[in-house]
Amino acid sequence: MKNVETLLRTSLWGQSLTEEELQRALSGTVERTFAAGAFICMKGEPVEYWMGIIDGLGKMASHWTTGKTTSLTGITNGGWFGEGSLLKNEVRRYDVMALRETRVAMMNRSTFMWLMDHSIPFNRHLITQLNERLGQFIGMMENERLLDIDTRIARVLAAFFNPVLYPGTTNLLQISQEELGYLAGVSRQRANQGLKVLEDAGLVRSEYGGIEVLDLDGLRSFGD
């Protein structure tokens, strides 16, 4: 992924726009880079942008007033987020943190609204994305509470291969085991162990700096 323009052009919704609409979207979008560990956006801030990841890895997390942090999901190349809060014109309900240096495209509110008013495919895409995200969050809930660690890791990985939310991901997911650990809420050591279990089961193949998924369905139903 190189820049804002390629991100938009390769996004599912971007492909359904006319050239004119695309140019308009482009002119209302800026790029920003976040260092590893920085907050891309914080819970409680007013929402001014719809954001998409050009390159990098973000972690969506919510923390309870009790101080407990719940990791929701990761966002990687080609993933967009924040549409829910933007639509409802409310403050953001979660934090998004960059796990490694991450380049983010930020579309301002008026451009987002303009696209909603002018493009039916754009609306369709939004509805689908909201729906998928909802399903994913429900899955994450049971994930955090009920499942053993190996299974959690399997689910976290499987979540990256939702074609609607993460159109950019191929079979080769570029994520280190440490980052996977952050997303599953486990230590790196444990993530490594869990990964080996999955590898023995023939579901994934781990390599330096990334993980290749061999059997997505098996990964989704792992532990059932």
Partner DNA sequence: ACATTAAATTCGA
Partner DNA sequence: TCGAATTTAATGT
16, 178, 185, 223: residue in contact with DNA (rule CB under 7 A): 178
The reply to whether 209 sits near DNA by the rule CB under 7 A is yes
HSE-CB of 201 using CA atoms within 13 angstroms: 21
Q: Which of positions 128-157 make contact with DNA (CB under 7 A)?
A: none
Q: Say if residue 21 is exposed, middle or buried (CB neighbours under 10 Å; 0-12, 13-18, 19+).
A: middle
Nearest approach in angstroms of CB 160 to DNA is: 15
User: Residue 89 — φ and ψ, nearest 5°?
Assistant: 55, 45
Outline where DSSP puts E strands in the chain. 29-34, 39-41, 49-55, 57-63, 69-76, 80-81, 95-98, 102-108, 172-173, 204-207, 210-213
Site for DNA in 189-208 (CB under 7 A): 189, 192-193, 195-196, 206-208
SS3 state of residue 33:
strand
Instruction: Output the smallest distance, CB 47 to DNA, in A.
Output: 30
37 belongs to the binding site for DNA (CB under 7 A) = no
Terminal Cα-to-Cα distance of the chain (whole angstroms): 36
Site string for DNA, 50-89 (x = CB under 7 A): ----------------------------------------
User: One-letter amino acid identity for 126?
Assistant: L
**Per CB under 7 A, which region of 54-62, 101-109, 163-171, 186-194 contacts DNA?**
186-194
When binding is defined by CB under 7 A, the residue of 62, 70, 87, 100 that contacts DNA is 100
Q: Does 177 bind DNA (CB under 7 A)?
A: yes
Any contact of residue 93 with DNA (CB under 7 A)?
no
Q: Which residues are at the interface with DNA (CB under 7 A)?
A: 100, 176-178, 188-189, 192-193, 195-196, 206-210
